[in-house]
Structure 1
């Protein structure tokens, strides 16, 4: 796609970036492009940024974006296609990424780096991410693989898709609910009980680390994870956001699934 092939020469002189996706904001910050961000959403991690909020990631204020006079607008995910199109219609240059797997998420670091004229930094960030993921895979390679259920929404219970199946496998688990690249979907009690997850991971969208394990325990699901008190809460950005935070999420999952392997690694 054209927006995914933005070249370094196009990005020369680009200084004003508005990021309308939390994943793009996190990635650009990891690339060292904080000083280029002149607008973000309420959903982005803006700590330490001199960049005003221009609305939410699904409902940005298009006029507020225009007032920031951006050289580039960043969007992500199929849910932001309308936002992408709205800003293209206004004449803004837009870079839009839609990773659906762990590998595509890492490759998007290169795309965003190229888009802001930080091509080398984008490649370096992707290279570092791949190295960290490979290290985790080596640590858990010879371990038994527990079944894991990852829930990104609790009403109704929704199994996480996209890159989460990849993340679970990289962390040394089995994920029988979805294949990598498939969209998240509602699951039934029978499906979860038949899969018999050894671990349940709550990373509910928008909840950060505030999800309550009792949400799962109160359902009275007959699964090993509940019986052995292996219901974990992780910050939703660690698994829901296709940014460098996702690599942190794989490492966090591995620490919960295989604490001995991670401890032994030092």
Structure 2
């Protein structure tokens, strides 16, 4: 058997991808935030959060590879590297980047054909959703909120999935910014001015509170608030740059958009 045999997954997307590829036997530790697939939580020890990790417990697992995501995990990665662990920190931020990530992870563990087939299947699913969106009589403007205090707008893959599902992101110019701090809205009144038809909330790790959003000063003028179009997308479905976002996540967005379109036909 080729490739690493003892992998620690510091975020959820490598766990979900490796299970989807039938390579879960390689995983020896996972993130405590992992919810997909459900059996991973039952089978694998939880050794990390997003910005912190139990380094001693990870080292005790004798990993030959640790996989994480983004600059936010730079300190964990550096600590593991100092202890001689090989680390791969991916930094993909787009839909194409997620598909490429699946292929690269598959190559890393020696299952190129399986990973290519899985990535092709994910891409085909997106094509189907894109095709359904093309039949909509009108595209809604969508404001996606990743956090409430401060207000942070959606990251690039979320913006792209909103577009695939049939909507237009209210803040496309911010979606291209890779870091959350660059997507903070200095002025919540800008949402009022852009007048989104739908508000999607996915507050990373806590429940979305539509009544709190609706009560913000001046927000009663927003079409989405006026029409009661405030919806939660659970963060594990959309804020992880992995298979979840390209399947259940985008399907939830599409269902909300199609329901809105039928009410405004």
Q: Sort the TM-score into its range (normalised by shorter chain).
A: 0.7 to 0.9
Q: Which runs of 5+ in 2 are unaligned?
A: none
Alignment partners' CA distance in 1, 2:8 and 2:253: 32
Q: Which moved more, 1:28-37 or 1:228-237?
A: 28-37
| 2:127 is the alignment partner of 1:161 | no
Query: 2:27 aligns to what?
Result: 37
Structure-1-length-normalised TM-score: 0.88
CA distance in 2, matches of 1:178, 1:79: 23
The aligned counterpart of 1:227 is: 226
Contact residue 159 and residue 186 of structure 1 kept, 8 A: yes
Q: Which of 105, 112, 123 in structure 2 is aligned with 1:119?
A: 112
Q: Report the secondary structure of 1:27's partner residue.
A: helix
Structure 1 counterpart of 2:210: 213
TM-score normalized with structure 2 length: 0.88
Cα deviation 1:83-104 (Å, max 9, x = unaligned)? 2232222221222211111110
Structure 1: runs of 5 or more not aligned: 1-10
Q: What pairs up with 1:55-94 in 2 under 5 angstroms?
A: 55-94=48-87
Measured on the aligned residues, the alpha-carbon RMSD in Å equals 1.9
Q: 2:99 aligns with which of 79, 103, 106?
A: 106
How far off its partner does 1:40 sit? 0.9
Tell me by how many angstroms 1:215 deviates: 2.1
- How far 1:201 sits from its partner (Å)? 0.3
Task: State the Cα deviation string for residues 114-137 of structure 1 (Å, max 9, x = none).
Answer: 122222222122111110111111
Aligned in 2, Cα 1:178/1:214: closer, same or farther, shift over 3 Å? same
Change (3 A) 1:150 1:14: same
Moved over 6 A (4+): none
Contact 2:140 2:167 in 1 (8 A): yes
Q: In the comparison of the two structures, how many residue pairs are matched?
A: 250
The answer on whether the counterparts of 2:170 and 2:196 sit within 8 Å (CA) in structure 1 is no
